[in-house]
A and B are shown apart, each in its own frame.
Chain A
Amino acid sequence: MTATQDRKEAAQAGAGTRTINLIQAVTEALHEELQRDERVVLFGQDVGARGGVFMATAGLQATFGKERVFDTPLSEASIVGAAVGMAVRGLRPVAEIQFADYMGPGFDQIISQAAKIRYRSGGQFTAPLVIRTPSGGGVKGGHHHSQSPESYYAHTPGLKVVMPSTPYDAKGLLKAAIRGDDPVIFFEPKRLYRAAKGEVPDHDYTVRLGEAAIRREGTDLSLIGYGGVMPDLERAADALAAEGVGVEVIDLRSLVPWDRETVVQSVQKTGRAVLVSEAPRTANFMGEVAYVIQNEAFDSLLAPVTQVAGFDTPYPYVQDKIYLPGPNRITAACVQALNH
């Protein structure tokens, strides 16, 4: 769905739109879901009175009370594990982990409990929960505040993995994640929290997990990414447009499930694919996207599928901006594909 389509949908619903940033979209989604369903509870470290490290939950405890929005001990295993238990017992927990980099102590709870309980019990017990966490770099956070661990979770059957890049998507995807019946790891690109601004409709809406958004249409090259890198994809596409190159920009929005159809159709049209992610290159989720493209659109390819990613190093502090695949590196990869 394009941004224009988003606005059209809002207009069709007879509602107005507002311009907000990504973190406001997260807060609105949480507020509305807490209001809509009493089973929704929100918790994590500092989410209560303080409103979370990035203030995503600001004001929610004051509105909904300490029973529904509460602080927990400093323990990711507890936060995630408790979410599993609450979900099994019938609540709709939304847990916040302060940074994706801190999910390590909760990893076993995510992969052994949340991801598996439906399957291993034959559907007798289920864990519909959401784990929200800021991820990605670009904020001078060093490696414990900048990593992009989504591939670990995308590799685990039973989990859904989401990463929005616009306020519209952040709100709609988060609401869909909370209403869904599966465990969802919801990565929020922290450098876009306030940088990404956009329209959201006044009315209630959701964005279905597993559908990519075509941000702009083009016929020469498919530029595919998700999360924090999306503004850089747009900048690269602008630069190439100035040279007369039509770039189709696709935002995956969800990694599990991901929208193979939109990607394959786009590459069949353009013949070229450049895949962008800021996560380390080896075993990067985009490797799976590249595999599917070469498997299903091989005959259409005019150039090898190219990947622009972070480096296989821990995320550096001083070289913060150099590490990220910025518009220059993305543009260079596109030029290489175009000149093949």
Chain B
Amino acid sequence: MTQTSSLPIPSTPQPFTPQPIRYVAEDGTPVQDLPAAYTPERLRELHALMLRAREFDRKLITLLRQGRTTFYAQSSGMEATQVGLARSIRVGHDWVWPYYRDHTLGLAMGVPMFELISQCLGSNSDPSRGRQMPHHFAARKQHFVSISSSIASQVPPAAGNAMAQKYLGTDEITVCTFGDGATSEGDWHAGMNMAGAAHAPCLFVCENNQWAISTNLAGQTASETIHIKAKAYGMPGFYVDGNDIVAVMEVCAHAAQWVREGNGPALVECLTYRVGSHSNADADAEKNYRTREEVQEWLDRDPIVRVEKLLEHLGHPIDAEERARLISETHREVDEQVIRAEATGQPDWRIMFEDVYADLPGHLRIQAAELRAEQEGSAK
């Protein structure tokens, strides 16, 4: 379902705002009129999606601790940004070039949990066939293009994807996501500039979680915000409270509409926070490079709790039983999908040589034969 923006589409680029756009305060009180589309039922659905993503994180961390997968990058704390974005575009129609912390975006776009888990396990059911380290998803049906570890390397291709859409005359747009750290890379500037110059229908979304592993935003850029950089590339820049799902949906839908209407690219900066570590590789984030107080400050701004408070404010609270049911359902689903994915086994060594090229060239045939001899020898 595509979100329809209630904001007016400006005929000239949106003015840059010093403070992030917000609809709901941290205590759940609307700070401006909520568009009529945000009924309690819809807010409940968004809440359920965010909670499901949060619990997916929890379960996958458990899986990691059990040694059943080897890498995982949490998105806890960023659910409003990713779910809000997913609900602002046309899934399976628009194209998304995601970054490596976007599994919540994928889940909200309808990538089956089974596929995500299969990829994390490198099982036979992994659509990427066990080629990537865990957490690097690709899902053709949803137009969720493959995640790369090389920071910002998805930005120029996203510009090209959008240029192709323009050439083909489709009404699709391309969405390109990245963290704040990516904005320091040359590829980010190259891609932004290219999309701007080509007037390509590309929506750039910065999931500014304020930490690129151990480098904070102040260490990343002397710029006051990321969104003001859009001006240099000739596109509107929007600044939104990334923990306010209503604001994210409204602004992303607005920007997507701007892009879809042929006005060129746009940049949305969602100010949010990664409450967990960068990955399992830096489990001691609080000890090493940031304070518990800082993390606590952002835990208090939890995007899921904010929707709960909003629903309470609207007179439609989510009771504890319902919340517990959602959590246990997700846990059960993850457990079931893990068992199902593990049962498919691991990909055979033979597929290592496939998909390097469209057809298997001679030198890979020779190398595959060498490995076959080795494998068959070791099996004796």
Binding site for B on A (CB under 8 A): 41, 67, 72-73, 75, 77-78, 80-91, 93, 105, 108-109, 112-113, 116-126, 128, 157-158, 160, 180-182, 210, 256-258, 260-261
Contact = CB atoms under 8 A, between A and B. Distances in A.
Nearest to B137: A121
Interface stretch (B17-25, B40-48, B187-195): B187-195
Contacts of A180: 358
A123 B193 contact: no
A154 B138 CA distance: 26
Chain B CB within 10 A, most for which of A77, A105, A160: A77
Interface in B138-197: 138-140, 145-146, 148, 150, 153-165, 167-168, 174, 186-187, 190-191, 193-194, 197
A83 B158 CA distance: 10
B99 to A, nearest CB: 13
Contacts of A122: 126-129, 131, 138, 355
A112 B160 contact: no
Contact of A78 (B153, B154, B164, B193): B193
B157 A85 contact: yes
B132 interface: yes
A38 to B, nearest CB: 9
A121 B146 contact: yes
A72 B163 CA distance: 12
A116 to B, nearest CB: 7
A275 B155 CA distance: 41
A112 B97 CA distance: 14
A2 B366 CA distance: 27
Given A72-B194, A182-B357, 19 more contacts: A73-B193, A77-B186, A77-B187, A78-B190, A78-B191, A80-B156, A81-B156, A81-B191, A82-B160, A84-B156, A89-B95, A122-B126, A123-B129, A124-B140, A128-B358, A157-B356, A180-B358, A210-B362, A257-B361
A113 B161 contact: no
Contact of B158 (A75, A85, A126): A85
A258 B361 CA distance: 9
B161 A89 contact: yes
Contacts of B154: 113
Contact of B97 (A85, A124, A256): A85
A83 B160 contact: yes
A85 to B, nearest CB: 3
Given A124-B138, A124-B139, A119 B131 contact: yes
Contacts of B194: 72-73, 75, 78, 81-82
B287 interface: no
Interface of B: 95, 97, 126-129, 131-132, 136, 138-140, 145-146, 148, 150, 153-165, 167-168, 174, 186-187, 190-191, 193-194, 197-198, 354-358, 361-363
A72 B197 contact: yes
A109 B185 CA distance: 13
19 contacts: A73-B194, A75-B193, A77-B191, A78-B194, A81-B153, A81-B194, A85-B156, A89-B168, A105-B186, A108-B150, A109-B156, A112-B150, A116-B148, A117-B145, A124-B138, A124-B146, A125-B138, A181-B358, A182-B358
A67 to B, nearest CB: 6
Contact of B159 (A85, A87, A108, A157): A85
Contacts of A81: 153, 155-157, 159-160, 187, 190-191, 194
A126 B193 CA distance: 24
Contacts of A257: 361-363
Given A67-B167, A85-B158, A125-B145, A75 B362 contact: no
B153 A112 contact: yes
Nearest to A68: B167
A191 to B, nearest CB: 29
Contacts of B158: 85
Contacts of A105: 186, 190
Chain A CB within 10 A, most for which of B127, B160, B191, B193: B160
B71 to A, nearest CB: 15
